[in-house]
Amino acid sequence: MKTLATTANHIIDLPSHALAALEVLESAGFEAWCVGGFIRDALLGRAGNDVDIACSAHWRQAQASFEAAGYRTHETGVAHGTLTVIIEGHPVEVTTYRCDGSYSDGRHPDEVSFVSTIDEDLARRDFTINAIAYHPIRGFVDEFDGLADLQTRVIRTVGDPKKRFAEDALRILRACRFKSQLGFSLDEETLSAMKSSKSMLRSVSIERVTHEIDLLLLGDHVHDALMETVDVLSFVLPELASMKGFDQRTPYHIYDVLEHTAWVIQHTPPERLVRWAALIHDMGKPAAAFEDGDVRHFYGHAHVSVDLGRALMTRFLMAPAFRDRVLTLVKYHDDVISPDARAVKRVLGRKLGGDADLFRSLCDLKRADALSQAPHCAPRAEVAQELKRVLDEILESKDAFSLRQLAVNGRDILSLGVEAGPRVGTILDAALEAVVEGDLPNEREALLAFAASQAQAGQQGAH
Ligand code: ATP
Ligand code: MG
């Protein structure tokens, strides 16, 4: 074991729940270390990762020790040697030293074998920066020079990348997402193996793929990650291949569709909804392109993007409600909305089902889109900010912009003698429109009179 004494630069202030976990295991006579993402992120000054402990205890022994010390445990991952312990409200994953057996399906280890040393346990981990163990008294175990790679900001597999990707192809996507989260460079041999091994991603379950793409999209360095790993990512996102190098040939754009998209994602806040919408918003451009001499037009591209995005998110098994919100943003991303109350209420009521949060995300997408085109388009980003201010004023004024807020409802319309059916909705829509346009107050009496006249007009129309 190559332990390194802790130096002033390398002291990790372990939180009390991590210290408590080490203490319980060691008092019971086992060896225990803090490992994985928590150590990596702590050394980078990034907070927030859950604590992982690797130890010499079998999970049953670990469980007995923690329960004797009064902590609750969950057996969620025990098939792979992982016990979850709740300490001071934090879940701590406690895993027996193990090495993974062979992966004949490139997906699950056929069996996990328990091993007796931390060195053997670190050897099965994916990247050197994830294979550092730390203990507050004994210091670091850094068999694979992860500390140096953290210093020089490199993502490198533990051992031969080809072999490691053949064991578990998910590691290829983990490398892409760590690049997006950390902004590190990919070691040359690792990147080249990612490319040559990408077809093994076929064996990875779609749920694991979706999880990694989700994390990649949320990364602080998503533009660079997408641009550098596009040839790998396009194995799971073939839509990216036609965006790469697709010249827009318009005065509004200086980037091809892929790089424009990468910048749009980068310029949106790190929220899942708007980042997925940014990924998809211009996916339809290559198919919708229309040549006009030296320039290209993309009329209707948003609809093509919606179709491609629906297929993609369905393939990725994403929740239908989330998918539909993403697609609503994609559909309207290019619509011009002037920053005045009437226009904003119209979009809110007619296009976004009254969902103010969705409107804010649409503004975020429009702002990022403007910032990622030619520099002369950047002032449009201001309009998107202005739209948010208009929205806030509308919300504060409590003005109606959706059917839910209207002072009459479907039952009121039926009570006027209108037959149940689509006519009820048409009358309510007309009433909302009159309120939004400022032609009617949102008051019951006035709206009932309006609805009655509409109902009558409808009846006359029918005769
Ligand atoms: P995060 O929690 O931010 O996703 P992490 O590095 O902690 O990042 P986890 O999935 O929580 O990732 O895994 C914890 C540790 O287990 C990793 O740091 C790594 O050492 C190891 N590990 C996880 N997945 C794999 C894998 N597919 N192959 C090899 N080692 C892995
Ligand atoms: Mg983790």
Residue range 298-326: average pLDDT?
94
Q: How much is the pLDDT for 91? A: 96
Among 108-117, 316-325, 432-441, the range scoring the smallest mean pLDDT is: 108-117
Tell whether the model's pLDDT for residue 61 goes beyond 50. yes
Q: Which of 59, 53, 52 is nearest to 32 (CA)?
A: 53
Asked if residues 307 and 353 have their Cβ atoms less than 8 Å apart, the reply is: no
DSSP one-letter code for 158 = S
- d(Cα 336, Cα 305) in Å, to the nearest integer? 18
- CA–CA dist 150, 167 (Å, integer): 24
CB 116 within 8 A of CB 56: yes
Ligand nearest 109 Cα, by number?
1
Which secondary structure element, helix H or strand E, spans residue 94, and what is its range?
strand 90-96
Q: What is the pLDDT of residues 170-195, one digit of tens each?
A: 999 999 999 999 999 999 999 999 99
pLDDT reported for residue 114 = 87
- The percent of residues in the chain predicted with pLDDT above 70, rounded, is 94
Identify the nearest ligand to the CA of 121 by its number: 1
Looking from the CA of 364 toward its CB, the CA atoms found within 13 Å total 22
Residue with the two structure tokens 């919100």: 325
Q: How confident is the model at residue 376 (pLDDT cuts 50, 70, 90)?
A: confident
Q: Residues 147-166: pLDDT tens digits?
A: 999 999 999 999 999 999 99
- In angstroms, the CA 327 to CA 341 distance is 24
Looking at residues 400-429, what average pLDDT do you find? 91
Q: Which of 334, 366, 332, 326 is nearest to 351 (CA)?
A: 332
For the cut 80, the answer to whether the pLDDT of residue 434 exceeds it is yes
Query: Tokens standing for 110?
Result: 């056929």
Q: Say which amino acid occupies 9.
A: N
Closest residue CA from atom 10 of ligand 1: 37
Encoding tokens for residue 11? 């002291």
Instruction: Locate 96 and state its tokens.
Output: 């027996």
Q: Which ligand is nearest to the CA of 122?
A: 1
Quick one: DSSP state of residue 347?
A: I
Please tell me the residue having the least CA distance from ligand 1 atom 30: 125
Task: Between 378 and 155, name the one with better pLDDT.
Answer: 155
- Closest residue by Cα to atom 5, ligand 1, is 37
Give the pLDDT of residue 250.
75
Ligand 1 atom 16, closest CA:
36
List Cβ neighbours of 444 (8 Å cut-off, separation of 6 or more): 407, 408, 412
| β-bridge mates for residue 92, sequence order | 51, 85
Instruction: Give the pLDDT confidence of 316-339 residue by residue, as tens digits.
Output: 999 999 999 999 999 999 999 999
92, 98, 126: which to mutate for ligand 1, most atoms within 8 A of CB? 126
**pLDDT of 128 strictly over 70:** yes
Nearest CA to ligand 1 atom 25: 126
Q: Are the CB atoms for 276 and 217 separated by under 8 Å?
A: yes
Q: Does the pLDDT at position 73 exceed 60?
A: yes
Average pLDDT, the chain: 91
CB-side neighbour CA atoms (13 Å) of 19: 7
Q: Which atom of ligand 1 is nearest to the CA of 215?
A: 4
**What separation in angstroms does the CA of 135 have from each of 26, 69, 124?**
11, 21, 19
Neighbours of 439 (CB within 10 A): 10
The whole-number pLDDT of residue 8 equals: 45
Pairing relationship of beta strands 98-100 and 3-4 according to DSSP bridges: unpaired
Ligand minimally distant from the alpha carbon of residue 215: 1
| pLDDT given at position 48 | 77
pLDDT for position 7: 54
Residue nearest atom 7 of ligand 1, based on CA coordinates: 37
Cα–Cα dist 394/103, whole Å: 57
Structure-block tokens of residue 308 = 């491609």
Instruction: Answer positive or negative: Cα dihedral of 110, 116, 122, 123.
Output: negative
Q: What angle do CA 253, 258, 264 make, to 5 degrees?
A: 70
The C-alpha R_g of the chain, in whole angstroms, comes to 28
pLDDT at 247 over 50: yes
Q: 6 falls in which pLDDT band (50, 70, 90)? A: low
Decide if 14 contacts 136 (C-beta within 8 A).
yes
Q: Are 173 and 236 in contact (CB under 8 A)?
A: yes
Q: Is the pLDDT of residue 288 over 60?
A: yes
Give the whole-number percent of the chain exceeding pLDDT 90. 75
User: For residue 154, how far is its CA from the centre of ligand 1 (angstroms)?
Assistant: 16
pTM of the shown model:
0.91
d(CA 133, ligand 1 centre) in Å = 13
186 DSSP β-pair partners: 155
The per-type count for the chain, helices as H runs and strands as E runs, is 22, 14
The C-alpha atoms of residue 396 and residue 441 are separated, in whole angstroms, by 17
Q: Averaged over 231-259, what is the pLDDT?
A: 88
Q: What is the rounded end-to-end Cα distance, in angstroms, of the chain?
A: 92
Mean pLDDT, range 54-69, rounded to an integer: 96
Distance of CA 267 from the midpoint of ligand 1 (Å): 28
| pLDDT score recorded for residue 103 | 64
How far is it, in rounded angstroms, from Cα 195 to Cα 189? 10
Least-confidence region, from 92-101, 150-159, 311-320, 355-364: 92-101
Q: How confident is the model at residue 399 (pLDDT cuts 50, 70, 90)?
A: confident
Q: Is 137 exposed, middle or buried (0-12, 13-18, 19+ CB in 10 A)?
A: exposed
Strands 51-55 and 72-77: unpaired
Nearest-angstrom CA–CA distance, 393 and 440: 20
* Angstrom distances, CA of residue 414 to CA of 15, 419, 447: 63, 6, 14
Pocket of ligand 1 (CB under 6 A): 36-37, 49, 52, 125-126, 130-131, 168, 170-171
How far away, in angstroms, is 85 Cα from ligand 2 center? Answer: 14
pLDDT for the residue numbered 292: 73
Place of tokens 């309009």: 383
Q: Say yes or no to pLDDT of 379 above 80.
A: yes
